[in-house]
A and B are shown apart, each in its own frame.
Chain A
């Protein structure tokens, strides 16, 4: 990172940390929600941006994490046990789902994840004995000490930073470099001895684990979960969040998540027309700026 970038990132980190002081409860809720989206988005960015695979079922993994957390915490498990359980379960499901799809590459993962999301949504809605069906699960506890909304924000924010550091480490490790090599030139990477399938599968499963963690934080944040937030539409929003911010760029999901959380609030007066504009804006963005918003500085420098 250049000096300018370090300054911008540092200032943003401090500004976000100070923001709750000037915000009411709803503002703090939105800020915490942003953190949850960033966690999920970072995982998706690993799959989409770094490993170059399309995944359109990320909300299903967030859902698995959220329901796992909700069910286990209602049984009295501690948050600290629930968190790794949610992450591991998503990691395992990611491996099982990704295996057939990634064996054939192409865009099969996109279709497999798409259908997986539909199936998981049906599961959440139909298996009332486990998930409460459309009534959902209410009264989900928060970890003790972080019960108040301000404290819970700092807890989530801190965890997001830890996850971001973990992601930065993954990307810089030999593993992460192999992901990027696969995305940029799969045939050359394979001829250099990189096992395409193993690496893309791993990237996908790690991305799913990030989503599971985000789900656990989400469940504690809203304290009530039902199937709706884990629909296919949410997955599309998460994917667009990563792409609009700038896929394959470390800070892409941070910017994208801010847009996805804040725009509906600001444009509430437009109701459904907001999504019409959003959809068409995505088309326009892909035509003129396929690298996402974070590619603007580069574009300006080149022009």
Chain B
């Protein structure tokens, strides 16, 4: 029983990290109709920017701050202006293909330009273990859970409680009506891209100590982010959190009780079950189709 609890707790911590990446993914989809197949690489790139900064002798907090800024410039502003904006008028498929191309390009850029092997990454949390009854919790699990939780609820509070956040939601729901109401749609969409870059940077900080920094680390994270987003509900911000945690916990349990070889397949099975019975996601609302 205590094993079970242990697996649930550490699964929740991993799941909270998936939720972060999933949240950015959901926001991008809502605000700009972008299905970002390079979302995993958007986590991988900040990890390597941080490594570069550390290599130049910066302390970790400064390196992370620089990473956030660079990520917001490259994965936020540049990605939006150079890739998404020119492609939106062509419809969804060319944009999806472009992000696939971007994913291949970024992965191999890091492979060819930095290193093909896995790189160690400093842990932001100390190595302490806490004992709580039968459970042993590492500072890493607790810290990841806490930081990811704060980020997710922070973004949600921002979206629901502030004028800017509400304006962003209005843009996501109905762009034309938002324009008529005098909302600066372009700026709101830009904010979403910036938030996504920031979320990806935090995800990188949390996930890389265990995954190690490697050019293809984004494959697994990106995949989990997609599934977490859809399982929870593609049009619900809270859904990303639920989906992420579900995937994290079930993966851990499957790895321990069924077969570690198929751990990676859990998210897919859960996804297939969800779209079979509740295609709008566990927390999602059904969307009407516009004619």
> Which residues on A are within 8 Å of B, measured CB to CB?
48, 52, 54, 56, 100-101, 103-104, 107-108, 110-112, 114-116, 118-119, 122, 126, 187, 232, 236, 239-240, 243, 271-273, 275-283, 285-287, 290
Contact = CB atoms under 8 A, between A and B. Distances in A.
A287 B83 CA distance: 7
- Interface centre among A110, A111, A232, A282, by most chain B C-beta atoms within 10 angstroms, is A111
A100 B268 CA distance: 12
Nearest to B95: A286
A290 B112 CA distance: 28
B209 to A, nearest CB: 24
Contacts of B265: 115, 118-119, 122
A89 to B, nearest CB: 19
B275 A275 contact: no
Given A236-B100, A286-B95, A275 B271 contact: no
- Interface centre among B104, B112, B261, B289, by most chain A C-beta atoms within 10 angstroms, is B104
Interface in B251-291: 261-262, 264-265, 267-268, 271-272, 275-276, 279, 289, 291
Contact of A111 (B87, B226, B262): B226
Interface string B178-202: 0000000000000000000000000
Nearest to B268: A115
Interface in B95-111: 95-98, 100-109, 111
B214 to A, nearest CB: 14
Nearest to A49: B93
Nearest to A119: B265
Given A104-B275, A232-B219, A282-B98, A122 B264 contact: yes
B268 to A, nearest CB: 3
Contacts of A287: 83, 86-87, 98
Contacts of A56: 100
A236 B222 CA distance: 15
A271 B103 contact: no
Contacts of A101: 272, 275
A114 B289 CA distance: 25
Contact of A282 (B104, B106, B276): B104
Contacts of B92: 107
B223 A115 contact: yes
5 contacts: A54-B93, A240-B101, A272-B108, A272-B111, A273-B108
B35 interface: yes
A273 B107 CA distance: 10
Nearest to B29: A107
Given A115-B268, A118-B264, A187-B291, A279 B226 contact: no
Given A116-B268, A281-B101, A283-B98, A108 B106 contact: no
Nearest to B259: A126
A283 B83 contact: yes
Interface in B107-154: 107-109, 111-112, 116
Interface of B: 35, 83, 86-87, 90, 92-98, 100-109, 111-112, 116, 219, 223, 226-227, 230, 261-262, 264-265, 267-268, 271-272, 275-276, 279, 289, 291
Nearest to B35: A107
Nearest to B216: A233
B112 to A, nearest CB: 4
Contacts of B268: 112, 115-116, 118-119
B104 A275 contact: yes
Given A111-B226, A243-B97, A287-B87, 6 more contacts: A107-B96, A122-B265, A187-B289, A272-B108, A279-B102, A279-B107
Contacts of A107: 35, 92, 96
Given A115-B271, A279-B102, A282-B101, A100 B108 contact: no
Given A115-B227, A290-B90, A279 B104 contact: yes
A230 to B, nearest CB: 15
Nearest to A233: B104
Contacts of B223: 114-115, 118
Closest 6 CB pairs of A and B: A279-B105, A282-B101, A115-B268, A272-B112, A279-B104, A104-B279
A187 B103 CA distance: 33
A14 B229 CA distance: 51
B89 to A, nearest CB: 10
Nearest to A104: B279
B101 A103 contact: no
B202 to A, nearest CB: 24
A100 B275 contact: yes
Given A107-B92, A118-B223, A239-B97, A286 B105 contact: no
B106 A279 contact: yes
B225 to A, nearest CB: 11
Given A107-B35, A126-B262, A232-B219, A286 B97 contact: yes
Contacts of B107: 275, 279
A52 B219 CA distance: 25
A48 B94 CA distance: 12
A153 B145 CA distance: 57
Nearest to B98: A286
Contacts of A286: 87, 90, 94-95, 97-98, 101
Contact of A278 (B87, B93, B104, B106): B104
A114 B83 CA distance: 23
A116 B264 CA distance: 11
B104 A126 contact: no
